[in-house]
Each structure stands twice: as C-alpha cells, then as structure tokens.
Amino acid sequence: IVTLRARREAGQAAQVSTMVSLRQIFLPFTERLDPNNPTDQQRATLERAQRLQGATRGCTAAEALPRTSDRPLDPGAIRLEGVNPPPLRQVLASLPIGRFSEPLIAPDGILLLMVCGRERQEEEQFTPEIARQTILRDRVELVARQLQRELRRRAIIDQRV
C-alpha cells in the first residue's frame, strides 16, 4: 500500500514550509486501554495529564518535568506539512507556543505535545546544478567503495613471527 504524502514540482518557485520544535510527554498505561472500561490507573493518568496540561507553561518547565517513559522529550525539528494524520497536523498548527495540547489518548498511554517554536523556511530549490553535484558525489563514493573493495581483495597479509 502506497500513500502520496506530498507533491512537489521541480523547477518552480521555492516552497515555504513550517518547521516546529516540539516537546512531548508520554504517560504510559500499565495495561492496554479498553475505552468502555478504563482502569483506575488509566483514570489517574488522565487526571495527571490534565493537571500537567493546565499547570505547565513554557518549554523549560516541560523539560524540567520528570521522565515517565523512554520516548524522547525533544523529537527535534519537524516539518509541519509532513505530520500525519491530518488532525494531528491541525492540532500542532493551532497550538499556542509554550502550552501543552489537550491530552491525546492512545491505547498504550497519554501524550501531551507542546510547540516550542515555529519557523517558516523556504525549501531549497532543486536546480540542475544541485542534481549534478549530487550525482557526482554519489559516483565518487561508489568509485571509492569499489577501489577499497579491490584493494582489500588484492591485499597480501604478511604475518611475521
């Protein structure tokens, strides 16, 4: 199954994209969520997420929170147009900077997202010169690997005792 995520036309004017810097807090459940019958631990986790969402302001405050899972706090800069599913993209686009989102409930836990910064960037236009440089660099790397492989094959190892 293939999904078309975006379409770009080469040679047109530079496209503008929005890069967002995020912080995420994931509060895991001890067992998988049954939406019709949540456990006491899952209810308590939701209440904790709602308290964090209301009380935490700013990225430095989010970074100071204790770690609750092995998921990274800072997933790095993300291109907003590449975020899927589209409802999540809309949440991130409308979220004020420095405020947590509403708790996003998943079967394995609750996710809180915070946008720490938005930056509009013009994507580099793909020109024939850039294509030439990329092809040349790839060919040089290929020849280097071939030469290295040939040298290893012809090498004579002389061990002296």
Query: DSSP state, 37?
Result: S
Torsion angle, alpha carbons of 28, 31, 35, 41, to 10? -70
% the chain with pLDDT above 70: 89
Q: Which two structure tokens, joined as six digits, stand for 42?
A: 């899952």
Check residue 8 and give its pLDDT: 63
15 or 104: which carries more pLDDT confidence?
104
Beta bridge partners of 24: 113
Phi-psi region of 94 (alpha: psi -120 to 50; beta: other; left: phi over 0): alpha
Lowest average pLDDT, out of 3-12, 22-31, 46-55, 58-67, goes to 3-12
d(CA 87, CA 75): 19
